[in-house]
Structure 1
Amino acid sequence: MANWLDSVFKVNKPVIAMLHLSALPGDPGFDSAAGVRAVVERAKSELGALQEGGVDGIMISNEFSLPYLTATEPITAITMARVVGELLNEISVPYGVNVLWDGRASIDLAVATGAQYVREIFTGVYASDFGLWNTNIGEVARHRARVGGKDVKLFFNIVPESAKYLADRDLKSITETTVFATLPDAICVSGLTAGAATDVQALTTVKNAAGSVPVFVNTGVRAHNVGEQLTIADGAIVGTYFKQDGVFENRADRTRVEELMGAARDFRATLG
């Protein structure tokens, strides 16, 4: 395990739970009658279910800001900062943030709220459901330094959801050059959408090519396959499985969290 994972999570092969925020002001689905207070109250309830269920960390994201922007409006990160601020006294595990799909805004939010890590699409050019999707990791890395975020760890999603890499390059080559040229703190491997299975061969390819950089399985982890996935990966990020009935739109269900985390602990026990 990489040293920074050890120091942050203090457990082998950590499982990070997604805390999906309801639609926010400016989003098409925002409930203006209920207001931001309803967003905060739901987030508090789900945070309780996740932490009491035994997760190793959380990642707070604006998952219901559909359809997503690749350059968000200021109101999104501003509202998320309020929500995270109201959760801070109740957060008892390492936490990160993710402003979909905006790397700079994610870093700004992390610095403002004391989050230890962010996850985003930091490299590549894609044809996506959101249009042509470009990135500039050199600019983002310099922005992180300017705003005092040098200690914020960057999770690079190397297989973006709902998008296809435009260059004709294989996954092994993409991983090798990403590690060498763009300095990720961790790499995430995803399926097609939230909750979709991550291809085991793709995960293995990235892990073998990533060297000492930790690799996380980013979607499709379930109680029955968490051991298989963690045999390959250095950690997992889980969202949909933790929801009631495993349905993306539902709230986190403590029973399902306990089920998966129990399976993860059983697997870790085999590692010694």
Structure 2
Amino acid sequence: MKSRLFASAKPIIGMIHVGALPGTPANHLSLGKITEIAVQEAKIYRDAGVDGIAIENMHDVPYLRGGVGPEIVSSMTIIGQAVKQAFCGVTGIQILAAANREAMAAAHAAALDWVRVEGFVFAHVADEGFINSCAAELLRYRKQIGAEKVQVWADIKKKHSSHAITADISLGETAHAAEFMRADALIVTGPVTGRPPVPADAEETKAHTHLPVILGSGMNEANIGQFLPVADGFIVGSSFKKAGDWNNPVDSRKVKAFMKRVTAR
């Protein structure tokens, strides 16, 4: 991957879906316990040779739209810092839903490397409602707080969303626009969590951008060989979890088997 972040040409990035955070409907653990579990999963990824990790507040359903409170930002900052120290490698963050400024602030404070951003260019309708583009505001905010080292990885035509309002704009055109708006990498997904994109989507995206193209859903031990030639990196979540369910803890045996398959090619 053409990035200053990774030594590997095709980095594998493991997901940590942190426990439901304080103040969210499903929260039942202390912040200390949530952090402890996240650190344990970071160590599993480290020991299995995964190239990077990302933390995400996916258990905070139902998600707020376009912003979260200070309790979430501070919690994710604490977790992010602890996870990066345990993993000793490239670490990213996403705060749902489309809380992109908050994610940038947490990444900067915790010395993380990249943020995953929803709605960077154009707009779409997500589970939470209308998500507008944020590139101009986000990059100005990054500049204002001195966080230029934090990369922006932009989802394009992202999962769990309707793109009817941009149906006349192709995936390739969206990729071109995100590069023009100064994203650092692009993320392509399938329609929902755990479902892969089609290889043609990755190929179309790469044909319209010079940026790294990351596949952000549905990668598993069975299909990774098909996708390795057509993308620059892979975010893996569900297939690293017990029973292949994102709700479950990370399964060290599944991670090691996946990485063995990747390194054998």
TM-score, normalising length: structure 1: 0.91
Deviations 1:188-224 (A, max 9, x none): 00112221121222121111111x2100011000011
Three-state SS of the structure 2 residue aligned to 1:9 is: coil
Q: Which residue does the alignment assign to 1:200?
A: 199
- 1:159–1:191 CA contact under 8 A, matched in 2: no
Q: Which residue does the alignment assign to 1:270?
A: none
Q: CA deviation at 1:88?
A: 4.1
Three-state SS of the structure 2 residue aligned to 1:236 is: strand
* Match status 1:179 vs 2:179: yes
Q: Which residue does the alignment assign to 1:148?
A: 146
TM-score, normalising length: structure 2: 0.94
Q: Which residue does the alignment assign to 1:119?
A: 116
Three-state SS of the structure 1 residue aligned to 2:5 is: helix
Q: CA deviation at 1:53?
A: 1.6
The one-letter code of the counterpart of 1:213 is L
Match 1:82 to one of 59, 78, 82: 78
Match 1:48 to one of 43, 55, 74: 43
Range moving further from structure 2, 87-96 or 62-71: 87-96
Distance 1:147 1:258 in 2: 38
- How many residue pairs get aligned? The number is 260
- 1:244–1:251 CA contact under 8 A, matched in 2: yes
Distance 1:82 1:173 in 2: 37
* Match status 1:104 vs 2:101: yes
Q: CA deviation at 1:44?
A: 1.8
Distance 2:133 2:177 in 1: 15
Q: Which residue does the alignment assign to 2:133?
A: 135
Q: Which residue does the alignment assign to 2:169?
A: 169
Q: CA deviation at 1:61?
A: 1.2
- 2:51–2:90 CA contact under 8 A, matched in 1: yes
Q: CA deviation at 1:39?
A: 0.6
* Match status 1:69 vs 2:64: yes
The one-letter code of the counterpart of 2:32 is R
1:7-22 correspondence to structure 2 within 5 Å: 7-22=4-19
The one-letter code of the counterpart of 1:214 is P
- 2:202–2:215 CA contact under 8 A, matched in 1: yes
Match 2:238 to one of 230, 236, 240: 240
- 1:243–1:252 CA contact under 8 A, matched in 2: yes
Distance 1:242 1:188 in 2: 19
Three-state SS of the structure 1 residue aligned to 2:226 is: helix
Q: Which residue does the alignment assign to 1:250?
A: 248
Task: Could you tell me which runs of 5 or more consecutive residues in structure 2 were left unpaired when the two chains were aligned.
Answer: none
Q: CA deviation at 1:164?
A: 1.9
Percent of paired sites with the same residue = 28
- 1:221–1:241 CA contact under 8 A, matched in 2: yes
The one-letter code of the counterpart of 2:75 is T
Task: Could you tell me which runs of 5 or more consecutive residues in structure 1 were left unpaired when the two chains were aligned.
Answer: 268-272
Distance 1:66 1:160 in 2: 18
Distance 1:117 1:147 in 2: 15
Three-state SS of the structure 1 residue aligned to 2:152 is: strand
Q: CA deviation at 1:139?
A: 0.9
| Backbone CA RMSD of aligned residues | 1.4
Distance 1:124 1:261 in 2: 35
The one-letter code of the counterpart of 2:204 is T
Three-state SS of the structure 1 residue aligned to 2:13 is: strand
Distance 2:142 2:71 in 1: 20
Distance 1:203 1:171 in 2: 9
Distance 1:266 1:178 in 2: 34
